[in-house]
Structure 1
Amino acid sequence: MTELHEDLLRNISEDVYPRSNSSSPLKVQIQFSLTSLNALDEVKGELQVVGYLTVTWNDERFTWNPMMYGGIGTTIFPRSKVWAPPLILSNPTEQISDLNADLALVRFLYTRAAIWNPGDIFKTKCYADIYKFPFDEQTCLIGLTAWGYLATEILLMFPNNDMNIKFYKDSGEWILKNWNMLSYEQNSISVASISLTFKRRPEFFVTNMILPIILMCFLNAVVFVLPPESGERVSYSITVLLSFAVFMTIVNDNIPKTSAPMPIICFYLISVLGGSALITVLMIINLRIHSKDTKHPIPQWMLTMKRVFGKRPESKVKPVKKESKNGMAVDFEKDPNKNKNETEASFGPDDYVTWPDIAEAFDRIMLYVCTLYFTAVTVCSMLALAL
C-alpha cells in the first residue's frame, strides 16, 4: 500500500485539477444524502439540514495495475494530499466557506474513478412564504458551486433526480414532501441546486391557536345573552378583546415580519379583533339604552325593531271568565272607576314598550348579527387556508 501511494503521488500536485482534454470540462457528479432537518426558521429565513454528498469524477492520473500491487484495486487519500473539487454553498446564511472537506477521505479506484463523501451542516437562506400559515409549505434551496472554477472547466451535474433519504426521519414540525435536483450555469459558473420542499405539521397550531380563537369568537357573541343587571357585560367583552390581542402577539412571534405576502391568519385575527372591539362599543351603547329615563320618548324605528325582534308585551287588560246565565259568556275585567268606552278600548302593543324592552330587542339582533359575522369570517378564512 505504501508503494502504491508513493507511486501515485509522485509528480502530482493537489492544486492542479485533472482535466485531460482542454476542450471539454471535467464532469463532477453529485448525489445528496439527507440525514436530518435541524431547523427551518421562517422568522430568520434560514434552513439547517445535516447531510453528505457523494461526489464522483475521473482523475486519469490515478490509475494502476492491481496485479502489480498485490491485487489492490482501491485506496484512499487524505483530502489535503489530492485534488478534489472545492465545493462551497452559493447561498450561505453566514460566511462563505467550503464544506468539511478535510474530514472526508478521497477514495480512488484503479479505473481512474474518484469518490469523495464530504458531510456538513448545510445552513442556507430560505425565504419563507407564510401566506397559508400554519398550512404552508416551504421550498428551500441548497446551492453548490466549485469555488474559483468556470463552467468551461468544471461542470457540476446530478446523475439523476434521486436523493438518498435512507437515514432521514421527519421532524416534529416539518414533513419532507418533495425534492428536485437541478444543475445550471450562472454567470459562467456551474451551479448544482438541491430543492427541498417541506410541509408543516399544523396540528399544534390548530389545537393551540386556531381552535381557541374560534371558540373565543362565539364566546364573545354570547355576551348579549348576559342580563344587563349582572354588571359584567363590559368587563366580559373587554376580557375577550384582550385575549384576541394576546393571540395576535403569539402569531406575530411565529411568523416573519413581512408584508409580502401577509398571512391569511393575520387578516383573520384583525377581522375578529375588530369584531370584538365593535361588540364592546355596542355593549356600552346597549347599557346606555337600558338605563335611559322613561321620560324620553321611544323613536318609532326602535318600536318597529322591538315588534320584529323583541318579545310580545303582555296586555294590560286581563281577560277573566265570567259565566253568564247560560254559562257561556266571556268578558273582560273592568275598572268600575272607568267608563265603558275606556275599558273596552283596544290597547296597542307599543303602549307598554319600555327602554329595557328596546335594549332586549337590540341584544337579540346583535347576537344574531355577531354570530353570523364570526361564522362567515371563520368559514371564509378556513376555506382560504385549505384551498
Structure 2
Amino acid sequence: MEASIGFLLLTTFTWIPGSRCNIHVRRQDEAIALKSSLLSNYDKSLRPVKSASTAVNVDFDISLKQIIELAEKEQTFQINIWLRLYWDDEYLTWNASEHGGVESLTIHSSDVWRPDIFLYNNIAKTYGAIEPITDVTVTSAGRVSHLQPAIFTSACPVDISRFPFDKQECILEFGSWIHNSNKVNISLVKSTADRAVFTQNVEWILNGALLERKVDIFPCCPEPFVTILLTMQLERRTFFYMFNMVLPCIVLMILNVFGFCIPPDTGKRLAFFMTILLALVVFQKFLSDSLPKTSTAIPQLGQFFAATIALVGFSCLASIVVIRLSYNSPPSRPLPRWLRLLLLRYLARLFCMNTIAEEKHVVPPATEGVYNVSDRETTQQKDSPNLTLDLSLREIVIHAREYSAHAREKKEKKDEQDEWKMAALVLDRALMFLVGLATIIVCVVLLR
C-alpha cells in the first residue's frame, strides 16, 4: 500500500512539469499559427480600418532619454527619445478562447501597418522617418503598441544675445506625411513628455518638455493635418564659461586698474597694458570660434569682452597722456590756469593729494640779497681810486648777475616742469579711479 502511494506521488510530480511544458509549447504553436493566419491576407499599405470613412486614432506619447547636442554654430538639435504609439487595427483581432488562450502577439513592425510619423523640421539624412527596427505588441482586441527608440536631429534657431546666460527653445514637429486628420487622427496621451529615464546633460538644464497638439492647413492641401509639437525648454549651465572665460577676464580687469600704480616714467606701464590687451584678444578669439557667425545679435559675453578691451585700450591712451604731461617738451610753458584749478585744487582735494597741490617753488630770499650786496659794492667801488680793482669788481658783478639770471630762468623752467608733473600725477590718480568705477559698472551690467 505504501509503495503504491509513493509511486502515485512520483508519477504526479513527474507529470505536472511536463504538462506545463506541453501547455507552453501548445500556446506557442497556437501563436505562430495565429500570426500566420492574421498576416496571410494582411496588406500593410492600407489603413487598418474596414470603413474608408473611419479615421485611425493614434495616441502619441514620448519618453525623453537624452539630449545629445545643441550645436550653436550649426543651429541643430539632436535628441534621443522613445516613441510610444498606440492605435487599433481592425484586421488584427481574434477570439483568445478559440486560439488556446493567446491574449497578445508580438509582430515585427515592418510586417504591419504603422502611422507614417515624420519629423517635419528634420535635417538628418534619415529624413525624419521612424525606422521599423522593433516589434509591435498586438492584443486580441486589435490594440497595437509600438514602442521604439529613435534619434532625431532637427533645426533649432539659437538666440545668442544672452550667451552664456541664455535660455533656448527647440521645437520638434511630428506628424503624418500623407494622411490628413480625416485619415489619421493623432492625439496626445499627456501634455508633457515622460522624463522618468532621462539622463541629465552636462551643458544644458531641461526646464520643461511640453507636448502640444496642433491642426495645420498647408498650401498644398485643403485638408487639415494634425501635428504634435515637442517644445524643449533648455537653460545653459554657466559654470564652464564663468570659470574658464569670465573669471580670467575679471582678473585681467583688476590688473588693469592696479596697473596705474606702476610709475608712468618707468616705461613699463604701457607694456603691461599691452600684455593684458593681447590676452583679452585671445579670449575673444576662443569665444568667436564657439558661436555661430551671425550679425543679428552680439552675445552678452562678447559685449563683456569688448567692454573690457575698450577699458584696457582707454588705460593705454590714459598712460600716453600722463607720460606726455609728465615730460612736457621744450619750450616749456606754464600750466594753464583752468587746468591748475581743475587738477591741483579740486581733483587733488578729492583724491587726498593736497600735499602735492600745495607745493610751491619760490626763489630764496638770499638770491635777492646777492643783487643788493653787489649793487652796494658797485656804488662803493665808484668812489675808490683803484680803477683796476673797480673794473674787476664790475666784471664779477656782471658775471654774477648773468649767472643769477640763468639760474632763475632754469629754476622757473624746473618749477613749470614740476607743476606739469604734479598735474599729471593728479590726472593719473583720477583716471585710475575712473577705470575702476567703469570696471565695476561693466561687471554688474553685463554679468547679470
Structure 1 position 81, deviation (Å): 1.4
Which residue of 2 is the match for residue 361 of structure 1?
426
Matched, 1:193 2:229: yes
Q: Deviations 1:347-369 (Å, cap 9, x if unpaired)?
A: xxx98943221221110111111
Which residue of 1 is the match for residue 405 of structure 2?
none
Which residue of 1 is the match for residue 191 of structure 2?
161
How many aligned residue pairs are there?
A: 361
Which residue of 2 is the match for residue 81 of structure 1?
111
Q: Which amino acid aligns with 2:203?
A: E
Over the residues paired in the alignment, what is the CA RMSD in angstroms?
Answer: 2.4
Q: Which amino acid aligns with 2:206?
A: L
Structure 1 position 148, deviation (Å): 1.8
Give aligned-pair identity as a percent.
24
Moved more, 48-57 or 210-219: 210-219
Matches within 5 A, 1:196-275: 196-275=232-311
Which residue of 1 is the match for residue 214 of structure 2?
184
Moved more, 251-260 or 194-203: 251-260
Q: Partners of 1:4 and 1:162 in 2: how far apart?
A: 37
Q: Partners of 2:204 and 2:86 in 1: how far apart?
A: 31
Structure 1 position 83, deviation (Å): 0.6
Matches within 5 A, 1:16-55: 16-55=46-85
Match of 2:326 among 286, 290, 305: 290
Q: Partners of 1:163 and 1:29 in 2: how far apart?
A: 13
Structure 1 position 19, deviation (Å): 2.9
Match of 1:278 among 311, 314, 318: 314
Matched, 1:299 2:336: yes
Q: Which runs of 5+ in 2 are unaligned?
A: 1-30, 219-223, 349-355, 371-414
Moved more, 245-254 or 121-130: 245-254
- The verdict on how the C-alpha distance between 1:226 and 1:70 changes in structure 2, with shifts beyond 3 A counting, is same
Runs of 4+ in 1 over 4 A off after TM superposition: 350-353
Q: 1 or 2, which has the higher strand percentage?
A: 1
Matches within 5 A, 1:275-354: 275-293=311-329, 295-297=331-333, 298-304=335-341, 305-310=343-348, 311-314=356-359, 335=366, 338=369, 353-354=418-419
Matched, 1:374 2:411: no
Q: Partners of 1:275 and 1:258 in 2: how far apart?
A: 25
Q: Partners of 2:272 and 2:132 in 1: how far apart?
A: 65
Contact 1:34 1:52 in 2 (8 A): yes
- The verdict on how the C-alpha distance between 1:337 and 1:147 changes in structure 2, with shifts beyond 3 A counting, is closer
Q: Which amino acid aligns with 1:369?
A: L
Q: Partners of 1:118 and 1:125 in 2: how far apart?
A: 22
Moved more, 51-60 or 10-19: 10-19
Q: Which amino acid aligns with 1:9?
A: L
Moved more, 225-234 or 18-27: 18-27
Q: Partners of 1:191 and 1:127 in 2: how far apart?
A: 20
Give the structure with higher Rg (CA). 2
Moved more, 157-166 or 55-64: 157-166
Structure 1 position 182, deviation (Å): 1.0
Contact 1:89 1:96 in 2 (8 A): no
Q: Deviations 1:91-140 (Å, cap 9, x if unpaired)?
A: 11234535453211111111110001122111111111222111111111
Q: Partners of 2:421 and 2:198 in 1: how far apart?
A: 67
Structure 1 position 269, deviation (Å): 2.2
Q: Partners of 2:293 and 2:125 in 1: how far apart?
A: 24
- The verdict on how the C-alpha distance between 1:334 and 1:292 changes in structure 2, with shifts beyond 3 A counting, is closer
- The verdict on how the C-alpha distance between 1:26 and 1:100 changes in structure 2, with shifts beyond 3 A counting, is closer
Which residue of 2 is the match for residue 134 of structure 1?
164
Q: Partners of 2:267 and 2:416 in 1: how far apart?
A: 29
Matches within 5 A, 1:55-74: 55-74=85-104
Contact 1:44 1:256 in 2 (8 A): yes
Q: Which amino acid aligns with 1:356?
A: K
Q: Which amino acid aligns with 1:371?
A: G
Q: 1 or 2, which has the higher helix percentage?
A: 2
Contact 1:234 1:283 in 2 (8 A): yes
Contact 1:88 1:146 in 2 (8 A): yes
TM superposition score normalised by structure 1: 0.86
Matches within 5 A, 1:99-110: 99-110=129-140
1:163 aligned counterpart, secondary structure: coil
Structure 1 position 195, deviation (Å): 0.9
Contact 2:357 2:422 in 1 (8 A): no
1:124 aligned counterpart, secondary structure: strand
- The verdict on how the C-alpha distance between 1:360 and 1:27 changes in structure 2, with shifts beyond 3 A counting, is same
- The verdict on how the C-alpha distance between 1:162 and 1:382 changes in structure 2, with shifts beyond 3 A counting, is same
Q: Which amino acid aligns with 2:228?
A: A
Q: Partners of 1:301 and 1:216 in 2: how far apart?
A: 35
Structure 1 position 177, deviation (Å): 0.9
Q: Which amino acid aligns with 2:431?
A: M
Contact 1:50 1:121 in 2 (8 A): yes
Which residue of 2 is the match for residue 144 of structure 1?
174
Q: Partners of 1:19 and 1:67 in 2: how far apart?
A: 24
Moved more, 36-45 or 162-171: 162-171
